Amino acid sequence: MRTQVAIIGGGPAGLLLSQLLNLAGVETVVIERKSRDYVLSRIRAGVLEWGTVELLRQARAGDRMDREGILHGGCLMSDGDRVFRIDFHQGAGRPVMVYGQTEVTRDLYAAQDALGATILHECEDVALHDLDGEAPFVTLTRHGQPLRVDCAYVAGCDGFHGVSRPAIPASVRREFEKVYPFGWLGVLSATPPVSDELIYARHDRGFALASMRSPVLSRYYIQVPLTDRVEDWPDDRFWAELKRRLPADVAARLVTGPAIEKSIAPLRSFVCEPMRWGRLFLCGDAAHIVPPTGAKGLNLAASDVHYLSRALIAACTRGDLAGIDRYSAEALARVWKAMRFSWQLTMLLHRFPDHSPYERGMQEAELDWLRNSPIARAALAENYTGLPF
C-alpha cells in the first residue's frame, strides 16, 4: 500500500490531521491499534479552546459541536466556601466550548467516512522504518496478515504509549518530565450538572472539579492518592468526598446518581524535544502530556495538528519544505506555554503531601490575588481560553 502521509494513531490528533490533509487533496492512511468502538469508549477531555472550535469547523467536523456544545463565558474557583469567578469574555474576549472528546472523535470519524478516508483499525506490531531516509515505510500485522505502507512522511499521533516517540534515537531525543504525587478519580453520571459553569475547587482535603458533558450528563473529579484503586471508591464514598470539597451551598444542591464510568488517571507533565526527526513528526500526546487541570491536552493536540497540517500540505502539494523545517520549534513554543499554565494551575489547586505551611500560604496568597486582581484573572482567562496558534 502506498500513500503520501502515514498517520500512526486514530485518536483526535490523527483523525483531525487526516481530515485536514484529505480536504487539501493530500492522501493519508490512518493506522490505529484498537477498534473504532474501543476508541469511542474513552471518556477524556471536555473543554475546547476557541482555536480548537475553529479548527474543527475548518475540518468540516463542527456542525454537531455547534448545535450541541455549550458555550462557557467563565468558570468558578473556590477555596472552601469562598467562591469567585473568572470571566473569560472580560479577560480574553472569547469563551470556551464544553463538548466531550468522545463526541469530537465520533464527529471526526463521520467526517472521515464522508470523504472515504482509509482508517485501518486493529493494527498490531506497528513499526516505523527508514525515517531518516527518502522513502520511509510502516509495517504492521492486521487480522493475521502482514502489511507494508510506503509513504513520504509519517505523523506519530499514537499517544504517550505509542511507538513513534521511541523511534527517535535516544541520542537525539530530550525528555522533560514532572510526575505529581496524586491522580484524579473521574466519575461520569447521568445527572444534571450542579452548576452552569465549571467549578475548580481547592480544599484542605484535596482538589475537586465539577464539570459536565450536557444538561443531563455530569463529569466530576476528585484528587486521590496514587495508591488508591477504583474499587476503593464505591459511588457513595465518591459523592460524600466530592461534597466535602465543594462549597457548602453547591454541595447541598448536588444531584447524585450511579457512576456510568469511573477511572483514575495519574497526573504528569512531559515534553519530548524535538517533535520532528527526519520524515517523522510527533503530534499530540505522543510528544507531550499535561496534567488535566488546565484542560489543555486535547487542545494542544489540535494546535500541533494546525501547524503540522499546514506544513505537510505545503510540502506535499507545492514542494515547499519551510513549514516542515519550522514545525518542531513552532509547535514546542506553544507546548511549553500550555505546560507552564497547566503546571501553575495544578500547583495552585492541589493538596501536596509534602507541602509545608509556607507552600499552603503561597497557594492562598495566589488565590487571593486572583480573587482581587482583574489583571491576574485576565491572565488566567487568556491562558485558559487558549493562546493564539
CB closer to ligand PHB, 128 vs 264: 264
Check: CB of residue 309 under 8 Å from CB of residue 281.
no
Q: In one letter, which amino acid is 147?
A: L
Residue 292 interacts with ligand PHB (CB under 6 A): yes or no: yes
Cell numbers at residue 373, please? Answer: 486582581
Give the range of 240-248, 291-299, 326-334, 359-367 binding ligand PHB by CB under 6 A: 291-299
**All cell numbers assigned to 277:** 526527526
Contacted entry of ligand RFL, ligand PHB, none for residue 49, CB cut-off 5 to 8 Å set by kind: none
Closest to ligand PHB by CB, 45 or 152:
45
Nearer to ligand PHB, 184 or 239 (CB): 184
Q: Which is nearer to ligand RFL, 4 or 263 (CB)?
A: 263
- Distance (Å, whole) CA 195 – CA 85: 12
Q: From the centroid of its chain, how far is CA 324?
A: 23
Cis peptide before 274 (omega within 30 of 0): yes
Q: Out of ligand PHB, ligand RFL, none, which partner does residue 158 contact, by CB within 5 to 8 A per kind?
A: ligand RFL
CA distance 38 to 285: 18
Residue 46 touches ligand PHB, criterion: CB under 6 A: yes
The b-or-e profile of 149-167 (16+ CB within 10 A means b, else e) is: bebbbbbbbbbeebbbbeb
Residues in region 22-41 near ligand PHB by CB under 6 A: none
| Amino acid at residue number 381 | A
Query: Residue 137: in which H helix or E strand, if any?
Result: strand 137-142
Q: Give contact residues for ligand RFL (rule: CB under 6 A).
A: 8-14, 31-34, 39, 44-46, 101, 123, 126, 157-159, 161-163, 265, 284-285, 292, 295-298, 301
CB of 291 to ligand PHB, least distance (A): 9
Kindly determine how many residues on this chain lie close enough to bind ligand PHB according to the rule CB under 6 A: 10
Residues lying near ligand PHB in the complex (CB under 6 A): 45-47, 198, 209, 211, 219, 292-293, 295
